[in-house]
Structure 1
Amino acid sequence: MFRPFTLVATAAALAAAAVPATAADAPAADYAAALADPARPAADRERDAARKPAELLAFAGIEPGQSVGDYVMGGGYLTRILSGAVGTAGHVYAFQPAEFIAFRKQYGDDQTAVAAAYANVDAVGGAFAAPAFPVPLDAIVTVQNFHDLYLKPFPEGTGDKASAALFAALKPGGTLVVVDHSAADGSGTTLSDSLHRIDKAAVVAALTKAGFVLEAESDLYKRPEDPRTANVFDPAIRGKTDQFTLRFRKPE
C-alpha cells in the first residue's frame, strides 16, 4: 500500500537531484518528416501545437534505428510520430492494455489499424501491469497514463508491478519518459481515480523503487496557473492542465 509520507519524502529528495532540461533537449530537425507524414489524421495535426511532439521526442532522446515502446498508445497519436522518428531501421511497439480493450472495443480497433498502416509498428498486448514487449527496448514513452495504474478497478500493487515490468522491458541504459497530470504536492496516488491526476513525487517513488534513476525533468507542459484541484476532464481545465515530464534511465 502506498504510504504518502515515506515515499513522497524519498521521492522529493531524488527529484531534487534531477537535471533540468537544457538546450540539448531542443527539438531535432529530424522529426520534421515524421510530423509531416501525410498518413497522420488531420485531428492529430491539430493537436501538435499543444502536445509539442518534436520537443517531447527530443527530450526522450528518440533516434533513428531505435526500438521504442509506446506504453498505452490510446488512439495512436504518438505511435504514428514515433514510427517516422525511428525510421525504417527502427521499430515501434504499441501497447494497448487488455483491460482497456475489454472496456472499450475502439481501443483494440485503433491499435489494429495503426499497426496495419505502418510497417515498423507492431501491436503489443497483455495486462496493464504486464506489457508483452517482445524485444529489449531503447526507450519507452507514456503520456497521461501512469495515474491510471492507481484507478480503483485495478488491484492494489498494479503500479509497482507495471513499474517493474517497464524496467525489465528496457535495455541497460534505456530511458523511460513519463508525462502526466499534476496533482497537489503530497497527495500521492489518492487523486488518481477522482481527478485523474497523480503527485509527481509518487511517480518518482514508484519508478525509483523499481530500479530507475531520475535523470531529468522538463517544463514542457508546465502550467502554474492550474490549481490542480479539478478533474482533468472538466471543460474548464481540459487541455490546460499542469503536467510534469520526467525522464528516467535504467542503469547500465
Structure 2
Amino acid sequence: MASGAVAQLDIAALASAMDNPGRPAADKERDSNRKAPEVLSFLGLEAGMTAMDLIAIGGWYTEVLSYAVGDSGKVIMQNNPGRFVDNNMEIINDRLSRRSNIEHHLGPVSDVAAGSVDFALTALNFHDVHNPNPAAAQSFLGQIATA
C-alpha cells in the first residue's frame, strides 16, 4: 500500500466527477450497473494512490480510477499489444486526452516497476487469462503482486 498520507475515497465526489459532461454517454450508461464508487471504496482505493487497470482495453475503469485517485494520484492503463488494443486506439487516445493522470503502458505487467503500484484492478476479463491457461493466470497474478 501507499506510504504517507492518503485521503479516503469520497463516494459522492467520485459519483459527481463521473457525471461530468466530458464523459461519453456510452460510458455513463454503464455506470448504474457497475457501481464503481461503491466497488472502489469497498476495495480500499484512496485518493493519491497509484492505481493500475489491468487489461484495460478501452479503459472504462481507467477513467473512473483517474477521477477516484485525483490529481495527486496516477493511473496506469495496462494493455498487452494486439488486436483488441489496436481496435480500441481511438477510445484509448480519447481517454488519455481527457485525463492527465493516466499513463498508457502497452506491454506486460512484468515491465511495470516493482513496488510502484498501490492498487490494481482487472474487471470483466480475468477469465480471458485463466480459462485458456491457468498456469499463466497464476504467473499474471504474481506479476501484479510485484508491481
Whether the TM-score (by the shorter chain) exceeds 0.5 is yes
Shift of residue 156, structure 1, vs aligned partner = 6.3
RMSD over aligned CA atoms reads: 2.3
SS at match of 1:92: strand
Change (3 A) 1:108 1:161: farther
C-alpha displacement at 1:79, in angstroms? 1.1
- Determine if contact 2:57/2:85 at 8 Å carries over to the other structure: no
Give 1:97 shift. 1.6
- Give the superposition deviation at 1:113: 2.9
Identify unmatched segments of 5+ residues in structure 2. 1-9
TM-score (norm 1): 0.49
Give, in angstroms, the shift of residue 30 of structure 1. Answer: 2.9
**Aligned 8 A contact 1:112 1:123 in 2:** no
Q: 1:121 to 1:108 in 2, by over 3 A?
A: same
Give structure 1 stretches of 5+ with no counterpart: 1-26, 170-252
Which of the two has greater helix per residue?
Answer: 2
Higher relative contact order by CA 8 Å / sep ≥ 6: 1 or 2? 2
2: CA distance between counterparts of 1:143 and 1:86?
Answer: 17
Partner of 1:166: 144
The residue identity in structure 2 corresponding to 1:113 is: D
Calculate percent identity across the aligned residue pairs: 30
Distance 1:71 1:145 in 2: 9
Q: How many residues align?
A: 138
Question: Quick check: 1:143 aligned with 2:126?
Answer: no
In structure 2, the partner of 1:86 is 69
Alpha-carbon distance in structure 2 between the residues aligned to 1:157 and 1:114: 33
CA distance in 2, matches of 1:104, 1:81: 19
In structure 2, C-alpha distance between the alignment counterparts of 1:46 and 1:116, rounded to whole Å: 21
Letter in 2 for 1:35: M
The residue number in structure 2 matching 1:28 is 11
- SS of alignment partner, residue 76 of structure 2: strand
For 2:139, give the aligned amino acid. K
The structure where strand makes up a greater share of residues is 1
Which of residues 89, 93, 112 is equivalent to 1:133? 112
Q: What amino acid does structure 1 have at the position aligned with 2:137? A: G
Alignment of 1:49-60 (within 5 A): 49-60=32-43
Q: CA distance change for structure 1 residues 164 and 28 in 2, over 3 Å: closer, same or farther?
A: same
What is the CA deviation profile of residues 158-217 of structure 1, one whole-angstrom value per residue up to 9, with x for unaligned ones? 112101100101xxxxxxxxxxxxxxxxxxxxxxxxxxxxxxxxxxxxxxxxxxxxxxxx
